[in-house]
Amino acid sequence: MSDKCHGFRSRIVDSFTGTLSEQDRRELQEHLSVCPPCRDYLQVMKREDASLAEYFAGIEENMANRQERALQMIERFDTNEETNTIWRRIMKSRYSKLATAAAILVLAAVALIVLDGSTSPAYAITDLPRQFEQARTIHVQGWNHFPGHTMPDGGKIPPTEINEWIDVENGRWRRSEVGLTVNDKDVRVAAGETVSDSRIEMSIDHTEKTVTYCRVSPYRQKLGMRQRSKLLAGQLFGDITQLSNSRVVGVEQIDGVTHDIWQSGDAHGWRWQQWLSANTGRLARAQVWREVAPGQWEIAADYQHIEYNAEVPEGVFAMDPPSGYTAANTPETAPFRELDDSYGGYTDEHYNLQCGAKIAFALADSSVILGWQSFDHESKEPPDVLFEDTTFGGPLPKLPVEFYALKPANESSDVIYTGYHLGQTHKDHRFIEWSLYVPNGEPPANIQTDGYTILYRWNLEFEPRWTMHVPVMPEFVVETAEEFDEWVLGAMAELSEDGKAPADVTYQEVIDLAQQVRTSVAP
C-alpha cells in the first residue's frame, strides 16, 4: 500500500463516521476510481460497518426489557431501607451500638487504671513532658553537631549555635535551622532561623544574609506554635511515650546540685540524655547522640542551657532584618502560606492532574484523618458531581487519583488503613476531600514518628505513566473532642470558602465510625 493509499484509507474510515469534507469526498471518489485495492478496502469497511450496525441492533432488541427490569427493581426497592453505608449499618443495629458503648466503658476503665498507676513522686523522668507543657516560655541554647561527617581533610565540622525560644502565652517562637551539604571536595553548612510572631513568619538565612517574610492564617500560626513545641520536645526527650523506659546512667553536679543523667534510645540509632535534679526537678541539660557505626556514638545536639518561664529579652521576636541583611520582600507584600503537606502534578496528552495531602491528624484510636485533593485541570466534568454520591462513612469519592488507603511508612508492617468519606470542603474553586482511614490491625509502635504512605489508584480511562510516593505525617494525635473541634474541624474550616467544617462531622461520630469499621473487619 502506497503512502497515498494510506491517506485515502483514513478518509475511507472517516466516511463512515461522517467527518469527510465535500472536497475530501470528491478526491476519495477520484482515487477509488483508479485504485482497486482501496476499493476492496472500502468494501471490507462497508461490511464491517454493516456488521457493527447489525450487532448493536441485536443489543437494541432487548433494550425495552432491560429498562423494564431496572424499573421493576426500583419498584421493588423498599424506600424505608437504609442505604448501605457502614455508618448506617452500625446505627441500625442495637447490638453494635451496645458493643460501641461497652468498648468505650472498657477504654475508660483502662484509662483510669493507667492514669492511677502513673501517679508517682515528683521529679522523675516522666515528669519532664508535663513541666515542658506547662511552661509559659521555653528557652534552649546549645550546639548542633554533625555526626558521621567530617571536613574534607578529616577534621571536625564546626558546630552551629542553637538559640530557640517558645513564648507560649503570646504565641511566638524562634527556632534555629541548619543544613549540611557534603561532597568529596567541600562541606557547606547553611545556618538559618525562623521567627514567628502573630501572622508573620520571617526566615533568616545567615549564610546568604537574606530575610524572607510570609504570612500565615491564625490557624496555621496556632498549628505552627504547637508543632514547634512538639518538635522541641522531641529534640530534648526523643519519643516522650517511651520516657518511662529511660534509665539513669550517671550522676553529675551542675551549679552545685546533683543531677541524674537519664538515657533512652530508639531502634534507629538515636539516643537521648537528660540531666535532671531529683530534688528540684530542674532539667539542666539534654543531649542527642547518633550511632554512626556499630557501638560508635557521636553527639548530634547539645542543649547546654534549658530554662522554663524566663522573661523574653527585647529583640528576640523583632521582625526587622538583622543589620547588614537584605529583605527579599516585606511583611506587607509577603505571600500567604497555605496548609499543604505534599503535592504532585502530572501532565500528558489526556490529563493535567494534581493531587496531594493537605493535612493529617491521628486519632487516639490509631485511625487517621486526612484532608486531600485530586483534580484534573483538563476535565470538563463539574467537580462537585464527583461528590454528589458520597455519604458520611461511605466509600471515598472517585476522584481522578483516589487516595484509597494508607499504610505505615515502615515497610515491614502489613497493616492497611482503609479510607472512608467524612465530608468535603470547597475553597479556591477546588474541593478538599476529608477521609477517615481505619487500620485493619495493630499499627507498628513507631507509627507516630515514621508516618504513613498513601496507597492510590486511578479513576481514569487511561492509566497515567506516573508513579507517586506521597508520605503523610500527621500533625499530632488528637485525644479529645475539644482537640478534635479545635484542630480537625479547625482545619476543615480553614480549607473552606465559608469558614465552616461539614456539619455532620463530629468527634463522636468519627470515633464511632472507626470503632464500627474495626468491629466489622474483626475476625
Partner 1 sequence: MNDCADDSLFLACRRGDKAAYATLARRHYRHVFALSLGMLANVHDAEDVAQETMLKGFQSIRKLARPERFEPWILRIAKNLCLDLLRRRKRAKKLPVEPAIGGDTHENHDLEWAMARLPRELRLPLVLFYFEHRDAGSIAGTLGISPSLVYERLRAAREELHRLLIERDPHE
Footprint on this chain of partner 1 (rule: CB under 8 A): 10, 13-14, 16-19, 44-45, 48, 51-56, 58-63, 66-67, 69-71, 73-75, 77, 79, 83, 379-382, 385-386, 388-389, 391, 398, 457, 459, 461-462
- If the CB atoms of residues 64 and 115 are measured against partner 1, the closer one turns out to be 64
In 315-394, the DSSP E strands lie at 326-327, 342-347, 352-363, 368-376
Assess contact for 364 and 433: CB atoms under 8 A.
Answer: no
Residues 6+ apart with CB under 8 A from 264: 237, 238, 239, 242, 243, 245, 246, 247, 271, 272
Q: Could you tell me the smallest distance in angstroms from the CB atom of residue 461 to partner 1?
A: 5
Q: Which one, of 182, 1, 91, lies nearest residue 393 by Cα?
A: 91
- If the CB atoms of residues 147 and 423 are measured against partner 1, the closer one turns out to be 423
504 alpha carbon, distance to own chain's centre: 22
Q: Which three cell numbers stand for residue 72?
A: 421493576
Q: Report how far residue 212's alpha carbon sits from residue 217's, in angstroms, rounded to the nearest whole number.
A: 17
- If the CB atoms of residues 76 and 94 are measured against partner 1, the closer one turns out to be 76
* CB atoms closer than 10 angstroms to residue 339: 18
Q: Could you tell me the smallest distance in angstroms from the CB atom of residue 494 to partner 1?
A: 24
- If the CB atoms of residues 77 and 186 are measured against partner 1, the closer one turns out to be 77
482 CB burial (10 A radius; 0-12, 13-18, 19+): exposed
Q: Report how far residue 262's alpha carbon sits from residue 287's, in angstroms, rounded to the nearest whole number.
A: 10
- If the CB atoms of residues 17 and 119 are measured against partner 1, the closer one turns out to be 17
Q: Which three cell numbers stand for residue 43?
A: 468494501
CA triple 47-49-50, angle to 5 deg: 65
- If the CB atoms of residues 65 and 412 are measured against partner 1, the closer one turns out to be 65
Q: Report how far residue 275's alpha carbon sits from residue 227's, in angstroms, rounded to the nearest whole number.
A: 24
Q: Could you tell me the smallest distance in angstroms from the CB atom of residue 10 to partner 1?
A: 6
Q: Could you tell me the smallest distance in angstroms from the CB atom of residue 75 to partner 1?
A: 6
Assess contact for 388 and 450: CB atoms under 8 A.
Answer: no
Q: Could you tell me the smallest distance in angstroms from the CB atom of residue 262 to partner 1?
A: 51
Q: Could you tell me the smallest distance in angstroms from the CB atom of residue 489 to partner 1?
A: 22
Q: Could you tell me the smallest distance in angstroms from the CB atom of residue 368 to partner 1?
A: 23
Q: Could you tell me the smallest distance in angstroms from the CB atom of residue 84 to partner 1?
A: 9
- If the CB atoms of residues 242 and 379 are measured against partner 1, the closer one turns out to be 379
Assess contact for 374 and 355: CB atoms under 8 A.
Answer: yes
Residues 6+ apart with CB under 8 A from 30: none
Cα dist. 484→160, 275, 348, 392, 509 in Å?
Answer: 38, 35, 40, 17, 12
- If the CB atoms of residues 54 and 332 are measured against partner 1, the closer one turns out to be 54
- If the CB atoms of residues 3 and 61 are measured against partner 1, the closer one turns out to be 61
- If the CB atoms of residues 288 and 399 are measured against partner 1, the closer one turns out to be 399
- If the CB atoms of residues 268 and 350 are measured against partner 1, the closer one turns out to be 350
Q: Which three cell numbers stand for residue 181?
A: 551539604
Q: Could you tell me the smallest distance in angstroms from the CB atom of residue 71 to partner 1?
A: 5
3-state secondary structure 277-296: CCCCCCEEEEEEEEEEECCE
* CB atoms closer than 10 angstroms to residue 14: 15
Q: Report how far residue 219's alpha carbon sits from residue 177's, in angstroms, rounded to the nearest whole number.
A: 23
CA triple 378-382-385, angle to 5 deg: 130
Q: Could you tell me the smallest distance in angstroms from the CB atom of residue 69 to partner 1?
A: 7
Q: Could you tell me the smallest distance in angstroms from the CB atom of residue 9 to partner 1?
A: 8
